[in-house]
């Protein structure tokens, strides 16, 4: 990487990112018993944010129905979203077997376009534009492959360079931006294993406007013959720092939940609530705690007069009583002493 590029980015951020990346073996050790459960926990977040990033106008409740097996799409937008989900799942499950080559890039573009030709107002699937474009793509691929394991090149910089060229060369006539994002995800997922423990697209959506501006800026310069990756590179660093911040926070929560008695931990968390809460919210917040443990904790707190059920039945809501709030204050004061 050139010295000029180093001058244009925040080195402190980059060093912080790799300091956090160095904890990946630690995360793997902490989450080892529940790794599959944790990965599944963040899938819905990824699906919802994937829809937002790719501007799919489908409600969250509808998305929850669509991702169920056997759902039949009713229109092009639903089919397209299912295709996006399938490409995302392909990368998640087969990233070790997918390579950055024309064959696997075609898998992604064909996955995005799957079954769209059977629906109204659909564009036909387009292949590479011409042989000269194919040669350019081969050059981009070979350049990446020759440098990806060379410590002289910072990995996210290489990714930013690849995605800048791929996006601006516009090898495919349809879904160029979407294909670029999935390639970005594939290349990052291969290197940053912490993505198994959080939603990448939630962090990407947080910086979506920055990323769009970075793509637009790169396109402006690319047309003038200048390959400027700086803004895309800076945004990728911010996205990955956000990813690791979330993983750190979740790791702490997970350790607290699994170190203390689960029932005692739940008790403390519930008594600190300032608003109404439901059993569903507790189950989402503590996915590794059984429903039986949650139910027992609520029953015990109610018997002690610390919480009260405001609405009964499946839609029940709970609230901490004044006695419960006093108990929280007493516990906090003892802890402070």
Provide the CATH number for the domain around residue 224: 1.10.3290.10
Res 92: pLDDT:
92
- Say if residue 68's pLDDT is above 70: yes
Q: Please count the CA atoms within 13 angstroms of the CA of 127 that sit on its side-chain side.
A: 5
CA 39, 42, 48, 49 torsion-angle sign: negative
Enumerate the β-bridge partners of residue 308.
319
| 243 contacts 207 by C-beta, under 8 angstroms | no
User: Is residue 16 located within the same domain as residue 69?
Assistant: yes
Q: Within this chain, do residues 233 and 313 fall inside the same structural domain, yes or no?
A: no
Residue 277 φ/ψ, nearest 5 degrees: -145, 160
One domain, residues 198 and 138? yes
Among 13, 39, 22, which residue's Cα sits nearest to residue 192?
22
Q: Which of 124, 144, 141 is nearest to 133 (CA)?
A: 141
Does residue 274 sit in the same domain as residue 241?
no
For residue 293, the domain's CATH number is: 1.10.10.10
Residues 220 and 246 in one domain: yes
**Confidence category of residue 296, pLDDT binned at 50, 70, 90:** confident
The reply to whether 281 and 173 lie within a common domain is: no
What pLDDT sits at residue 328? 65
pLDDT above 50 for 120: no
Residues 216 and 282 occupy one common structural domain: no
Same domain, yes or no: 269 and 238: no
pLDDT band for 336, please (50, 70, 90 cuts): very low
Q: Are residues 229 and 201 in the same domain?
A: yes
What's the rounded Cα separation, in Å, for the pair 159 and 181? 11
> Domain tally for the chain?
2
What interhelical angle do 155-169 and 230-259 show, nearest 10?
Answer: 130
Q: Which residue is associated with the tokens 């629906």?
A: 119
The verdict on 69 and 169 lying in the same domain is yes
| Number of C-beta neighbours around residue 200 at 10 A | 28
Asked if residues 198 and 27 have their Cβ atoms less than 8 Å apart, the reply is: no
Percent of the chain's residues with pLDDT above 70: 89
Q: Which residues have C-beta within 8 Å of that of residue 167, sequence separation ≥ 6?
A: 176, 177, 180, 215, 218, 219
User: Pick from 225, 255, 285: which residue ends a domain?
Assistant: 255
In DSSP terms, which residues pair with 277 in a beta bridge?
Answer: 318
Cβ count near 22 (within 10 Å): 9
- pLDDT band for position 8 (50/70/90)? low
Same domain, 205 and 309: no
Q: Domain span at residue 104?
A: 3-255
CA distance 116 to 56: 15
Domain boundary among 255, 271, 293: 255
In angstroms, what CA-CA distances link 102 with 109, 137, 165?
10, 8, 15
Last residue of a domain, one of 224, 255, 286: 255
Q: Are residues 248 and 275 both part of a single domain?
A: no
């Amino acid at each position: 990487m050139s010295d000029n590029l180093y001058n244009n980015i925040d080195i402190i951020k980059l060093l912080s990112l790799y300091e956090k990346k160095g904890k990946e073996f630690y995360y793997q050790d902490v989450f080892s018993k529940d790794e599959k459960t944790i990965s599944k926990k963040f899938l819905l977040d990824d699906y919802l944010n994937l829809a937002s990033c790719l501007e799919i106008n489908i409600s969250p409740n509808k998305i929850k129905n669509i991702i169920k097996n056997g759902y039949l799409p009713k229109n092009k937008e639903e089919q397209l979203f299912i295709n996006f989900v399938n490409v995302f799942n392909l990368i998640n499950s087969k990233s070790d077997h997918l390579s950055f080559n024309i064959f696997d890039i075609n898998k992604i573009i064909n996955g995005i376009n799957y079954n769209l030709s059977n629906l109204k107002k659909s564009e036909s699937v387009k292949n590479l534009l011409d042989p000269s474009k194919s040669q350019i793509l081969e050059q981009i691929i070979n350049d990446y492959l020759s440098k990806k394991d060379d410590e002289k090149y910072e990995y996210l910089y290489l990714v930013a360079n690849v995605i800048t060229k791929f996006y601006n060369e516009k090898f495919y006539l349809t879904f160029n931006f979407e294909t670029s994002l999935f390639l970005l995800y594939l290349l990052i997922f291969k290197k940053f294993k912490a993505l198994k423990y959080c939603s990448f697209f939630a962090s990407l959506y947080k910086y979506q406007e920055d990323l769009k501006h970075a793509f637009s800026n790169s396109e402006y310069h690319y047309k003038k013959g200048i390959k400027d990756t700086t803004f895309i590179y800076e945004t990728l660093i911010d996205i990955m720092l956000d990813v690791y911040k979330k993983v750190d926070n979740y790791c702490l929560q997970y350790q607290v939940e699994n170190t203390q008695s689960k029932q005692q931990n739940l008790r403390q968390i519930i008594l600190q609530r300032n608003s109404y809460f439901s059993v569903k919210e507790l189950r989402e917040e503590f996915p590794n705690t059984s429903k039986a443990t949650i139910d027992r904790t609520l029953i015990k707190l109610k018997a002690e007069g610390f919480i009260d059920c405001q609405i009964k039945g499946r839609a029940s809501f709970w609230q901490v009583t004044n006695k419960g709030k006093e108990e929280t204050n007493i516990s906090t004061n003892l802890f402070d002493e």
